[in-house]
Structure 1
Amino acid sequence: MIQILNKNYFNVKLYMWISFLVLSIIFIIFPQIDISISKPFYDGTSFYLKGSTFERFFYNSVKVLLPAFTVGTIGIYIYNRIKKTNILNLNTKVLIYILLVLSVAPGLIVNATLKDHWGRARPVQIKEFGGNKTFTPAFILSDQKGHSFSSGHTSAAFAFIGFALLATKRRTFWMSLAISYGILVSIARLIAGGHFFSDIITSFFIVWIVTHMLYKLIFKKDSTL
């Protein structure tokens, strides 16, 4: 059974596909899970941890780290081409892979397609938490003109998974670091009422799946994670 679950389908383990499917069904059948998870962070007036040091630090960190890594990657690539060297093994294939990792999942799928068109209201906007909009379950198109589904910050933070897959040494360590950062950013969005738990989970799986598929497409081999 374990061997079957560990089989790769489009370079993604079967257990990851199943996990995403099962969790998606659970969020649709039991939508109140989202309300229950967000409720402890609402004090009857506001999401009281919004604006806290932890929340602001990790919310703003994405806006700094991701552009820095992107510019740094392009800079190293240009340097390698000019000097005909190979710092960090950053060749054309690696550059294309990184740019696709950053643009396809967080950019095209999460932000341009889901956030901009799904309409789901954020926790802070719904009536249950002092707002004036109606709560709708994950994966259900909404007319509330919100931008909650799915989480853009979460998808951007988890995009560092793509960088971790490129590691030739201590890959498990770098992957753990990337996932831990994504979790911290996700918590920051959750406690601020910016996103529901299902928004965060969905963004994680989208990034994980797309990143691993791109790895297979670009490098013509399976990743080991």
Structure 2
Amino acid sequence: MATLSGNDNAGGKDALPRIDRARCALVLFAVFALAVATFVGVPQIDLWFSALFYDAERGGFWLQQVPAATLLRRVLMDLTIAMLLTSVAGLAGGLLLRHPTVGVPVRVWGFIVVLYVLGPGIIVNLILKARWGRARPSDITEFGGAAEFTPAGVISDQCAANCSFTSGEGSSAAALAVSAVLLLYYFAPRVPRWAARLWLALALLLPMAGAMQRVVTGRHFLSDTVFSAVIVAAVALVLHWLFSLREGRARG
């Protein structure tokens, strides 16, 4: 799907990594269709999965009281903030100096900043979470709350603000994964192979664990995190096309 070898960056020093966007779009559409069929077609799956981590005798979603779960969330939030601030600094430095910052093209830093702003920022938090009205698992009657369960994809009035659909931290985790893998493309030739492999593993596993932390602690349904990841992936794919389009015009 994607080429992650620095030798393939034929577009020049300001180019994004080459990927087969048509194939990526096809895979992403298939994942989206599967998610819709699963969570909209069989909404009880969300309840079933959340129930695996709920125990009324232990206080409900008891994993939220486990220090390791809290630590994981804090680490992911810190990494997300660090990635965004680093990207803003890299973008600003590159624009001022007209030179890649730490070997990463200005266009790439800009891609990451826009990805965070559009994905987790505008689409997920400002539009969906603020207007969809889906109550969180810990707030519905099935898990000791007072609100009604709403299937994924159905607009509701069970939550007034900062609601469950979709997951803000899940979308940030997905953006972190995309950004970390993208930066690895540029850093891999300069670090040992074992370090690049460790980077890639952490880039994929930590965000997944962070998104799952929101589910097991009753703050989000599984579908919230899945759709957040799909949204961020779609935004990243569109941005790759737009940034590559501008890249081609600049070369022309």
User: For the structure 1 residues 18 and 37, does the alpha-carbon distance in structure 2 shift closer, same or farther, using more than 3 Å as the test?
Assistant: same
> Which of 16, 23, 45 in structure 1 is aligned with 2:28?
16
In structure 1, the gaps of 5 or more residues are 1-5
Q: Secondary structure at the match of 1:159?
A: helix
> Which of 133, 136, 139 in structure 2 is aligned with 1:125?
139
1:197 to partner: Cα distance: 0.5
Match of 1:210 in 2: 235
CA RMSD of superposed structures (Å): 2.5
Quick check: 1:119–1:143 contact (8 Å CA) kept in 2? Answer: yes
Distance 1:47 1:29 in 2: 26
In structure 2, the gaps of 5 or more residues are 1-18, 190-195, 248-252
User: For the structure 1 residues 213 and 175, does the alpha-carbon distance in structure 2 shift closer, same or farther, using more than 3 Å as the test?
Assistant: farther
1:177 to partner: Cα distance: 3.0
Quick check: 2:46–2:221 contact (8 Å CA) kept in 1? Answer: yes
1:99 to partner: Cα distance: 1.1
Where do 1:8-157 residues align within 5 Å? 8-9=21-22, 12-44=24-56, 45-80=59-94, 85-145=99-159, 147-157=163-173
User: For the structure 1 residues 75 and 15, does the alpha-carbon distance in structure 2 shift closer, same or farther, using more than 3 Å as the test?
Assistant: closer
Distance 1:215 1:152 in 2: 22
1:58 to partner: Cα distance: 2.1
Match of 1:3 in 2: none
User: For the structure 1 residues 82 and 19, does the alpha-carbon distance in structure 2 shift closer, same or farther, using more than 3 Å as the test?
Assistant: closer
Which amino acid is the alignment partner of residue 116 of structure 1? A
Identity of aligned residues (%): 31
Quick check: 1:12–1:209 contact (8 Å CA) kept in 2? Answer: no
User: For the structure 1 residues 91 and 34, does the alpha-carbon distance in structure 2 shift closer, same or farther, using more than 3 Å as the test?
Assistant: same
User: For the structure 1 residues 99 and 18, does the alpha-carbon distance in structure 2 shift closer, same or farther, using more than 3 Å as the test?
Assistant: same
Range moving further from structure 2, 70-79 or 130-139: 70-79
Which amino acid is the alignment partner of residue 48 of structure 2? S
Where do 1:157-172 residues align within 5 Å? 157-160=173-176, 161-166=178-183, 167-168=185-186, 170=188
Distance 1:101 1:28 in 2: 27
CA deviation vs aligned residue, 1:33-81 (integer Å, no higher than 9, x gap): 0011011211124101112122211222233122222222233444455
User: For the structure 1 residues 91 and 118, does the alpha-carbon distance in structure 2 shift closer, same or farther, using more than 3 Å as the test?
Assistant: same
CA deviation vs aligned residue, 1:98-128 (integer Å, no higher than 9, x gap): 1111111111111111111000000000000
User: For the structure 1 residues 23 and 126, does the alpha-carbon distance in structure 2 shift closer, same or farther, using more than 3 Å as the test?
Assistant: same
User: For the structure 1 residues 78 and 19, does the alpha-carbon distance in structure 2 shift closer, same or farther, using more than 3 Å as the test?
Assistant: closer
TM-score (norm 2): 0.76
Distance 2:21 2:201 in 1: 20
Quick check: 2:124–2:168 contact (8 Å CA) kept in 1? Answer: yes
Distance 1:107 1:164 in 2: 20
Distance 1:26 1:126 in 2: 21
TM-score (norm 1): 0.85
User: For the structure 1 residues 209 and 81, does the alpha-carbon distance in structure 2 shift closer, same or farther, using more than 3 Å as the test?
Assistant: closer
Distance 1:83 1:99 in 2: 18
1:186 to partner: Cα distance: 1.3
